[in-house]
Structure 1
Amino acid sequence: MTLQPPMMVRGADHSARAMRLMIRDLARGRQGVAGSEDLKVRPLETPGPGVRVGDGSALIHGARPWQGAYTQSNIGDTVVDVPPTGPVARTDLLVLRIEDPEFEGDRDPQRQNIGYFHLIQNIGSQDTTALREMTAIPLARITIPRNTATITAEMITDLRRLANPRTERTLRTVHPTTTEKVPGKHGQWAAWPKEAAWDLDVPAWATTATIVVTLSGLRAEAGSVYAELRTRLGERAAKPTVVDDDGTTTRRSSVTLADTLAVPPAYRGTRQHLAVEINQIDKYGDGDLTVAKGTTVTLDVAFTEGPA
């Protein structure tokens, strides 16, 4: 193949391959759906022998060398028929396929859709090898019990991946300047320390939040300490991390709180409060856990876009 002419030098006179190669370059070789809700596979509104693919768009990378990449959009729901099973259960793979006759198949672009939803029937439960020689992206796996004609949500496994997921990361630090003991009654959750609280703008596209909070230089004194610490985003609490210290003298330690939380649709595009909480349990120790001068609290939160 010879060196191709650069784009935008011959007016609109460019080959289809040149456009596909430009799409491939702009997508950096990645493929998948464009947005978190795009091309989601669901049961029919009245469950029956088929599924519906929601609206949205996708990037599909060509399976052949220098084929380039395709864009495909679906406006509104598209119904895909799923044949019923007989006495044996079956697993099907639903894909968005491009069958460009320049590279594969014999479809006529003047009369037929070269981009279409394609059901690959009777594959292995984890098999995707059928896609290796096919210009296509997987949308869902449909696992159908024997003697079944109605597709329900429990049979559909979402296989979509975002072509270019967005991520927004925020780093914050605070340095307490006064001594602050655990507030309130021990044995129940309370916000602490007071400086470890932030109001965060949740991106409208975020589906997950990975939150890491590090408290360095925590001070324990006057006996052993047992406490659980966690983060809370809005009304969603992360899994707790334990501080278990059976010392007796004044000592310093560090603790890291980390978890990944699903971002509810109602949180997207809003401002939510993020805080650290503690639950000190006196049954396992009666010492004091404090933040003081020399304590550093670091927040690292990454909002990420994914299929929803």
Structure 2
Amino acid sequence: MQVDSWAVEGAGSSPQIARLMLTSATRSGNGIVDPADLEVQELAVPGTSVRVAAGAAVMYGQEAVFQGSYYAHNVGEEEVPVTATDGGGGRSDLLILRTEDPGIDGTPWVHDPATDKIYYFRIIEGVASDTTEVPSGTTGVALARIDIPVSTATITQDMITDLRTMLQPRTEYVIRTQQGFDPIDYAGNIQTPNWENWPDLTWTVDIPEWATQVQVDATWANAGYFPSDYSGSGSTDARGETRISLKAGTDEILTTTGAYNHNELSDTNGYRVHMSVLDDVDIPSELRGVTAELRMQVSGDTVGGRLRADDYMHAGVRLMFNEVPVSGAS
């Protein structure tokens, strides 16, 4: 074992042991620290540069064995110039934060760490149009790809693809379920454009303050579809839309709507049917760190078929809260 010590009285500590400690602390992670860190945006008045937001990143060393990891923090915004394209064609550029440590043998860097920084925002011009990562052997993090049309000097937001990844993203799994409903609750009698809670229940969920996205997996299982529930008006089909609501006060997020369409095959037999909603939904800042009401909702079409929530129906919503990069304005 190489003799090296950290935080030991009377012992010298090398830069390498500090970097290796950071590697251990971050489990060899590579990425931004907080969701809004180092976001790349157009200038306030779009021009020939882009701006990189304040924030921090950890970069896992790629140029040497046991190199360790580096921590960099951009204090304030920094503008990075982008070369214009000419009439010869468009171009894709990769904007990265790169560590250029001259103390690592075999690297081309010639900075003097006593007077120069070793962390730089760099543009790699002419990358493939589907590039999402830094080049192999580079100690750095990819921030954005800029896809520039032909004969263009002004960079606008629609040309910028966010490539940031979290260093150590947090997740939390929540599940709410209920089996059996008494009295029977019918779906389809409340019709578009109106919505009802179906089944008629409300759960509460604590949304983590760090969560910027929720993945929703909701299921209405074993719902009853019976001829005897026909309203007597229009088709006997049971049709409508489904969605999931998370609401706190006046703030609410909704999933993309799903749809159901069940067709009667017999005028005497009943059926058990299933529906689901799957979606990824961004969580706005006003709904982070609050207790929200979770509801399953339906809106019936103008047909006569009805679905019933009864003793045999199961209802459940699975929520995966994620910490993913977001815009600083979110």
TM-score normalised by length of structure 1: 0.89
Instruction: Tell whether the 8 Å contact from 1:94 to 1:138 is kept in structure 2 after alignment.
Output: yes
Query: What is the rounded CA distance, in whole Å, between the counterparts of 1:90 and 1:299 in structure 2?
Result: 44
Q: Do structure 1's residue 172 and structure 2's residue 171 form an aligned pair?
A: no
CA distance in 2, matches of 1:247, 1:196: 30
> 2:131, 2:145 within 8 Å by CA — same for their partners in 1?
no
* Post-superposition CA distance 1:140-170 (Å, at most 9, x none): 1112223322211112111111111111211
Residue identity matched to 1:227 = G
Cα pair distance change 1:38/1:254, threshold 3 Å: same
CA contact (8 A) 1:202 1:272 kept: yes
Tell whether the 8 Å contact from 2:243 to 2:254 is kept in structure 1 after alignment: no
1:265 equivalenced with 2:285 (yes/no): yes
Corresponding residue for residue 198 of structure 2:
193
| Partner residue, 1:240 | 258
Asked if 1:275 is matched to 2:295, the reply is yes
* Residues 241-286 of structure 1: CA deviation (Å, up to 9, x unaligned): 4242424422323333221112223322334333211123354xx3
2:14 match: 15
What residue in structure 2 maps to residue 304 of structure 1? 322
Q: Which residue of 2 aligns with 1:152?
A: 156
The residue that corresponds to 1:120 in the other structure is 124
* Residue 190 of structure 1, CA deviation: 2.3
Pick which of 293-302 and 90-99 moved more.
293-302
Matched residues in 1 for 2:129 and 2:80: separation? 20
Q: What is the identity, as a one-letter code, of the residue corresponding to 1:90?
A: R
Deviates more, 1:21-30 or 1:139-148: 139-148
Supply the AA of the counterpart residue of 1:111: T
**Structure 1 counterpart SS, 2:286:** helix
Give the match for residue 68 of structure 1. 68
Q: Tell me how far 1:110 sits from its aligned partner.
A: 0.8
3-state SS of 1:39 partner: coil
Query: Counterpart of 1:273 in 2: which secondary structure?
Result: strand
Deviation at 1:36, TM superposition (A): 0.9
- Match for residue 243 of structure 2? 230
Aligned residue in 2 for 1:58: 57
Could you tell me which residue of structure 1 aligns to residue 208 of structure 2? Answer: 203
Cα contact 1:189–1:277 (8 A) shared by 2: no
- The SS at the match of 1:150 is coil
Distance 1:70 1:130, change over 3 A: closer
C-alpha displacement of 1:216: 2.4
Distance 1:21 1:191 in 2: 56
Deviations along 1:162-221, one digit per CA (max 9) or x if unpaired, are: 111111211112232321112644444422324443233322322211111222221111
Structure 1 match to 2:231 = none
Q: What amino acid is the match of 1:291?
A: A
Separation (CA, whole Å) in 1 of partners of 2:184 and 2:31: 51
Q: 1:79-158 alignment to 2 at 5 Å? A: 79-88=79-88, 89-103=90-104, 104=107, 105-127=109-131, 131-158=135-162
Contact between 1:37 and 1:56, CA under 8 Å: does it hold in 2?
yes
Q: Which residue is equivalent to 2:217? A: 212
Question: Aligned pair count?
Answer: 305
The secondary structure found in structure 1 opposite 2:73 is strand
Cα distance in structure 2, aligned partners of 1:203 and 1:307: 15
Q: Distance in 1 between matches of 2:38 and 2:52?
A: 5
| 8 Å Cα contact 2:37/2:56 also seen in 1 | yes
Q: Which of 264, 272, 293 in structure 2 is aligned with 1:252?
A: 272
Equivalent residue letter for 1:98: T
Aligned-pair CA distance for 1:46 = 2.2
CA offsets 1:91-138 (integer angstroms, 9 cap, x no match): 211110001112222221112111111111222222467621211111
Deviation at 1:14, TM superposition (A): 1.8
Q: Does 181-190 or 272-281 show the bigger shift?
A: 181-190
Which ranges of structure 2 fall in alignment gaps of 5 or more residues?
228-235, 247-251
Aligned-partner residue type, residue 217 of structure 1:
N
- Structure 1 residues not aligned, in runs of 5+: none
Residue 184 to residue 235, structure 1, CA distance change in 2 (3 Å): farther
Q: 1:224 to 1:149 in 2, by over 3 A?
A: closer
Point out 4+ residue stretches in structure 1 off by more than 6 angstroms: none
117 and 147 in structure 1: CA distance in 2 versus 1, 3 angstrom threshold? same
Q: Which moved more, 1:66-75 or 1:242-251?
A: 242-251
Q: Secondary structure at the match of 1:19?
A: helix
SS at match of 1:131: coil
Q: Secondary structure at the match of 1:277?
A: strand
Residue in structure 1 matching 2:313, options 277, 284, 295: 295
Cross-structure match for 2:41 = 42
